[in-house]
Structure 1
């Protein structure tokens, strides 16, 4: 049961993040803003997340991941409602910053809980947990554009909050309890001195920049540069999330069969091909296909980095994972804000093509992922 409860958290967190994707072009129209000003809103999301993530990392280390994830999740549940009713540019930016902080804090805590389940079961589950995240993101992004188009932003926000709350009610009492014993010695809450968690963070960072670029800008790319409708534009990220989900459900088996290093290298190559296809396409169909191919590659890069970080010896519980999670999510949350400024000058197609070259970095560092071979370590 603990396996499915933590998976449910990944599912609704993904749904929440996926529901954000089709809102960006809608907010641009409602607020009458350019890509550059929309980029500041996306930047607010990232800054909010990076400010709050370390707090929840410390809470995981002191009080356990189950308590931390419950707090973050309940606070994050109505996020889409806040964004829907915020009337001005700066109030929307503030609502988005709060959304980013709480969703990011939930992400740290639920990944730590997944590591606790791995240890309890003696078996890797991280890729499939992220598969549930991608499944939720697919549902949120794919249905979100249609719901907003048919019923409006506020209805969409209430619907997302309702589904989120119902799943959380079921899952919260079934999580693995990993709080330290009251008399257990407390490890110091300091940043890791070993370079390994930081280098794993670089892998997560460079893998999540393209994911963030697809999450935040694929809909804008398809709508504004290719003339797609809002409903079709939402399928840019939805296609990526769908293929990510499939590959993440296969990822734990692939990692056991081929090893983390080989899986990471193959995944990186496929992601590079998909980003290049999306960036070079002239019409929505091939671009969406490119995003889908990129999702196949990106799928297991991040879970491997997270699982490796969660099994670095000698660190307080949650601290190594918090470093890698924070670095990774700075890619998915901060970099897309800068993309908004670049997009006005060079276009999103050029940016997606350039992101393919960025993935040479995790390819070069892939040998560091061997600590993600969880089953091999135990053997």
Structure 2
């Protein structure tokens, strides 16, 4: 294959993996408006609903390490061709669940295929980055944000007008239409690293766990703003319900915009420098939100924090996927498990703390985590590219 064809293949692979990120975000975002429906349809308490949502998180976290092993053995493009079509059916399985027991199994499976797809699509994005010798991870996560916005924004309208089951069917069809044509254009790693001695084992490189801490400290703020910012504004800063909703809206809007700008900025200035600057911006925003006495100042602070948080996780993922001596999947599985704990597990603990101390001290404490990320930024140096560009291959 000559250089021109290699460039064309890599570029098609770039848009194929972007489609995977959009589909994954669309499926995840479409689940959000189904939550209140599940509560009333099954006649369960909020506590039981919380356990069902936890089952989704446990499914994702349990699937991620095994997907890392599969990616290392077979390559992300082949594993993604299994998990992506399976993920398109996950929401429909939950919508069809007739009782709590079946719903719990469906939620666990839905989380598993979404989490498995997450690991493999991030690993495939690393493969594309290597072939293009430039960053695409931030914009890939931007496509995830767009998919989540589309799924969440349209889902409530669809459910209200056509019912939850029709909505789930429509989501399945749309996701399948997005995923199917992209499958054939996914790029393959040059040479997956296979661990033959043990079928599954945690990597023994300590650097990958330090990068996992960076991902964890970067995702805790995202999960906290998602779950608790509106409640903080309403209960502790006197905002009405409509105003409180602007906290995550502003946060997610700036985060999505910066993710599409992040690759170009990172290619120009380097991952380490951008991670340092981003973490300090995020820390300043979260600190201001915690100290603010005005709801609108807090909203502005959360919006400012989104500018910084946007590109921190993509940099951590790129660093994980480019660790020497291990496959992209092995490194990615560790970092995604640690990172997504910040969204799937940490907010429940933060809710317990906030109930006793209020959420203002929580946001101040989170700003300290982000300062730690700044101090650890040098460990993400592997996110920068030393390989030759595709044009030279």
* Normalised-by-shorter TM-score class: 0.7 to 0.9
- Counterpart selection for 2:207 from 187, 196, 206: 196
Q: Whole-Å Cα distance in 2 between the matches of residues 311 and 210 of structure 1?
A: 25
Query: Is contact 1:8-1:171 (8 Å) kept?
Result: yes
**Range moving further from structure 2, 131-140 or 333-342:** 333-342
What is the CA-CA distance between 1:122 and the residue it aligns to?
A: 2.1
The answer to whether the 8 Å contact 1:206/1:359 transfers is yes
Is the counterpart of residue 228 in structure 1 residue 266 in structure 2?
no
State the shift of 1:107 in Å: 0.6
CA deviation vs aligned residue, 1:167-218 (integer Å, no higher than 9, x gap): 001211111133858xx97555542222111100000011112222334455
Whole-angstrom CA distance in 2 between matches of 1:40 and 1:287: 31
CA contact (8 A) 2:72 2:194 kept: no
Q: Deviations over 1:240-275 (max 9, x none)?
A: 333222111111121122221221122112223443
Aligned twin of 1:64: 75
Q: Give the whole-Å Cα distance in 1 for the aligned partners of 2:163 and 2:364.
A: 34
Change (3 A) 1:201 1:366: same
Q: Which has the larger radius of gyration?
A: 2
Q: Which one of the candidate residues 323, 336, 345 is aligned to 1:325?
A: 336
Q: For residue 359 of structure 1, give the secondary structure of its aligned residue in structure 2.
A: helix
Compared CA separation, residues 185 and 220, structure 1 to 2 (3 A): closer
Aligned counterpart for 1:45 among listed residues 30, 47, 56: 56
Report the Cα offset of residue 6 of structure 1: 0.7
| Equivalent residue number for residue 4 of structure 2 | none
Q: 1:177 aligns with which of 188, 191, 203?
A: 188
Q: Check the 8 A contact 1:39/1:338 in 2, yes or no.
A: no
- 1:16 maps to what in 2? 27
Matched, 1:211 2:227: no
- Cα pair 2:68 2:331 within 8 Å, conserved: no
Alpha-carbon separation, structure 2, partners of 1:305 and 1:120: 19
CA distance in 2, matches of 1:351, 1:168: 39
Q: Which runs of 5+ in 1 are unaligned?
A: none
Does residue 1:135 correspond to 2:146, yes or no?
yes
Structure 1 residue 144: deviation in Å? 3.1
Provide the rounded CA distance (Å) in 1 between the counterparts of 2:55 and 2:372: 26
Instruction: Please tell me whether residue 78 in structure 1 is matched to residue 89 in structure 2.
Output: yes
Residue 161 to residue 228, structure 1, CA distance change in 2 (3 Å): farther
Gap change, CA 1:250 and 1:96, over 3 Å in 2: same
Matched, 1:167 2:142: no
Relative to 1, partners in 2 of residues 1:66 and 1:266: Cα closer, same or farther, differing over 3 Å?
same
Q: Structure 2 regions of 5+ residues with no counterpart? A: 1-11
Query: Aligned pair in 2 of structure 1 residues 235, 153: CA closer, same or farther (>3 Å)?
Result: farther
Contact 1:139 1:238 in 2 (8 A): no
- Alpha-carbon distance between aligned partners in 2 of 1:300 and 1:107, rounded to the nearest angstrom: 17
Per the TM alignment, residue 94 of structure 1 is displaced from its structure 2 partner at its CA by: 3.3
Contact preservation (8 Å) 2:135, 2:264: no
Checking the alignment, whether the CA contact within 8 Å between 2:73 and 2:194 is kept in structure 1 is: no
Residue 263 in 1 paired to residue 274 in 2?
yes
Count of residues paired in the alignment: 373
Partner of 1:314: 325
Provide the residue aligned with 2:9 in structure 1: none
What TM-score comes out, normalization by structure 1 length?
0.85
RMSD: 3.2
After superposition, the C-alpha distances for 1:33-52 in whole angstroms (9 at most, x for unaligned) are 34x55443332222111111
Which of 284, 298, 304 is the matching residue for 2:315? 304
Query: Closer, same or farther in 2 for the Cα pair 1:185/1:146, shift >3 Å?
Result: closer
Deviation at 1:165, TM superposition (A): 0.8
How far apart, CA to CA, are the structure 2 residues paired with 1:378 and 1:174?
22
Give the superposition deviation at 1:68.
Answer: 0.9
Matched residue, 1:154: 165
